[in-house]
Amino acid sequence: MKTKFILLFFSLFLLLSHTNLKGENSTSDQDPEKDKVLISVLNYMLTRGHYVQKDLNDEFSKHVFTNFIDGLDPSKRYFTKDDIKEFSKYKYQIDNQLKESDIAFYNLVYNRFLSKIKNAKKYYGALLKKPFNYKKNEVIDLDYKKMEYADSEKELVNYWRKQLKLQTIDRIQEQENLDEEKFEKDPTYKKRSFSSIEKIAREKVMTSMENLYIRIDELEHKDWFSTFLNSVVSAFGPHTTYMAPNIKETFDQDMSGKLEGIGARLQKKGIYTHVVELVSGGPAWKQGELEEGDILIKVAQENEDPIDIVGMRLDDAIKFIKGPKDTKVTLTVKKKIDGSTKDITIIRDIVQLDETFVKSSVVLKDGKKFGIIDLPKFYINFDDRNFRDSAKDMEKEIERLKDENVEGLLIDLRNNGGGSLDTAVKIAGLFVDKGPVVQVKYRNEDPVVREDIDKNTQWSGSLVVLVNELSASASEIFAAAMQDYNRAIILGGNQTYGKGTVQNIIPINKFYPNYDKKLGFLKMTIQKFYRINGGSTQVEGVYSDIAMPTRFSYMSYGERDLEGALKWDKVPQANYKPINSYINFSDVVTTSIERINNDPKFQLIDEYAKWLKNEQEDSTYSLNYKQYKKELKEREVFSKKFNSVFKYKSNLTFNSPNYELPLFKDNKDLEEKRMAWHKNLSKDIYISEALNVLSQLKIGVKQEIVKN
């Protein structure tokens, strides 16, 4: 690949030297030359280096057209049908424009958007001056993809009215709940009238809108042009993104390590701040409610009013979220799982990276001792290969558990989003003799088989791998290899996440080195993973041998639900031989499935998952305040049925392996963390069922050496 990119440099110089930089309606803060250079270089990099070979044709043009307009106006509160009709003259021309580095489409839509922003201030200012009609029977559907653009400015104002009315109703409900709480604490407290609460609610919405547009006004042309560039590059796949220089810096801003915060990595997408990763062991991870994919709407310090961070620059938003150890921060979050809005309170702490490392526990069940290994991610330090990595740590942990005379191992890969492919291959090799583990393929090339070259098998006993819908990438490679070799029973949600692609973050200036301005970075898909049985892990992921109900069971979640995700396909099978080391594999699987189907707790989880799916699909809200409160109450009453859905207590006791016990004398913090983890394990219904399966597995056939 390195040789290929060197050859690309010379071709690129020829391309740019003949590029005709065109455009129209440039605004004063634009840098037309830089914009056109970016278009040319990105076009070049994507068409020659991306895993997907994609023609810049009418289909591509339509994607950019729709994606960019949606990126600027996701709630359809700015553009009308007349605007879209005018924009449509470029609908199937954008591909041709980009080939010529012509950004006329961008300039037309961007300049119209700026004028619409000015109008918006008039709309919300006038609408919030007087009370809404809260007795009117009307609804609003927040699934804006189903909504048509407004026919006229009058209809556009009505869209604004409904959205502002819903925000006000939500604030009214908030204020009434506040009064109820005060009255419960003090029966002499005099509740406020509806009219006074309503006025306060409108004022709060007005303040929120004014703050939003102050922040929008602070955004520069480069911020909106990044939205356009992401509309272009996203046509190649959902994991391909453009990052401006400042966005790359904030993307790398990790609230972990020595920083005091919540332990989450955030990324800006349009005007919204998204959670892209939780640091294992961090405050947010421990609290348990914040999830990857959630959108942060507001941030509130303890005993202070929340601050709306929609439209706020990422580095500014992070300043509000970070804070001293032991202080509270409340995040108002739009949940990815069902689109609901939820307040999540997290106690800040110093996030210690050692919580992302391998750890183990020992448990006694039915007179047998078993080991549990938690692997939060496949970590490695590329700058210092002598530093600890997940493969080395896993090898040590297995040896320590063998010293404890455990009879089986349970490896927990839930929420493990992946990491180093090298360590995944090496860890797989700990459980099989040498042989293929995964196949990796570049575009237009034959797949390359990655093998475990160590003939030794460190653990030949019973093995269960626990996964869920958030187990992705390297986790899926390991789980797939164990499944293909029949080395382990895979237990968890119906299927894993399904991310079977590899991305590289490439500095764009590398392809135009003599340019004196920073061009940013391109995160681009360059490889695809395949199982040793030939099937891709892309979209399909790994199907569990034993599927257990989870809250994700019926949700739109995973790679398969991402627009433009690469398709599943297959390559020839690698040369490997299944081990078939269990004499009762099928019986254990069948018994577990029957046990799960007849368990009232799992039945309740399944019912809860169906309810979540219905909530995800129901995007309508009544704008009649009396009806709104009634529906809200009905939701609350029904949801109480699921208050105990994940409340569970086993009779199992989990302990640290012997090597850890002396460490607790000088490290009370470590002891407290292990005690908390062991307590959670005892309340984990999925761990309990995994141990049931592990305790029943019987090794009956000696493992055969896997030959290439």
Which residues are known catalytic residues? 473, 484, 499
CA 134, 136, 137, 140 torsion-angle sign: negative
Give the whole-angstrom CA distance, residue 578 versus residue 349. Answer: 46
Per-residue burial over 402-436, b if 16 or more Cβ lie within 10 Å, else e, is: eeeebbbbbbbbbbbbbbbbbbbbbbbbbbbbbbb
Say which amino acid occupies 534: G
CA dist list (Å): 196 to 132, 188, 199, 208: 14, 19, 5, 18
Number of alpha carbons in the 13 Å side-chain half-sphere of residue 90 = 23
Give the whole-angstrom CA distance, residue 239 versus residue 529. Answer: 15
**Nearest residue to 497 via CA among 563, 551, 568, 558:** 558
Give the whole-angstrom CA distance, residue 670 versus residue 287. Answer: 18
Q: Are 107 and 24 within 8 A, CB to CB?
A: yes
Give the whole-angstrom CA distance, residue 652 versus residue 438. Answer: 36
Element spanning 439, H or E: strand 435-442
Query: Looking up tokens 């991306």, which residue turns up?
Result: 50
Q: Is 366 exposed, middle or buried (0-12, 13-18, 19+ CB in 10 A)?
A: exposed
Give the whole-angstrom CA distance, residue 104 versus residue 233. Answer: 18
Number of alpha carbons in the 13 Å side-chain half-sphere of residue 184 = 6
In this structure, are strands 139-141 and 620-622 parallel, antiparallel, or unpaired?
antiparallel
Q: Are 86 and 45 within 8 A, CB to CB?
A: no
**Nearest residue to 330 via CA among 316, 347, 318:** 347
Give the whole-angstrom CA distance, residue 654 versus residue 681. Answer: 7
Give the whole-angstrom CA distance, residue 187 versus residue 601. Answer: 40
